[in-house]
Amino acid sequence: MFLDLFGYTPARICTGTQSQILPRAAMLKFLGVEEKTCDLLTGASCSKQEMVHIEHFKGKSVEELKQELKALSKKSGETLKKDERILVDGRMKVLKKLLKALKKSGK
């Protein structure tokens, strides 16, 4: 509590006279903690929200996924309600990662 008043947080380290904020990934690497990331092909270590989006895209071909990404990108450029914006942005994020994973796996 006392250190928070002066701007010191666990992610802040002092190097000489300057303080530098470390990104989350760098801090986890420094601590030796392996962060589990979502495997979109198997669904391992994915959050509930990511699983909902994965289920939406399950069973579609790569071409259908590319068309869906194009449609979501177009829709994302429009003015949307808050709930729609969260849904569209979440699906686009998962879809981009899914297409990248499918391309990397060669399917």
pLDDT tens digits for the chain (107 residues)? 444 555 555 555 555 445 567 677 777 788 887 777 888 888 888 889 999 999 999 999 999 999 999 999 999 999 999 999 999 999 999 999 999 999 988 86
* CB of 73 closer than 8 Å to CB of 93: no
Q: What is the pTM of this model?
A: 0.66
**b/e map of 30-56 (b: 16 or more CB within 10 Å)?**
eeeeeeeebebeeeeebeeebeebbee
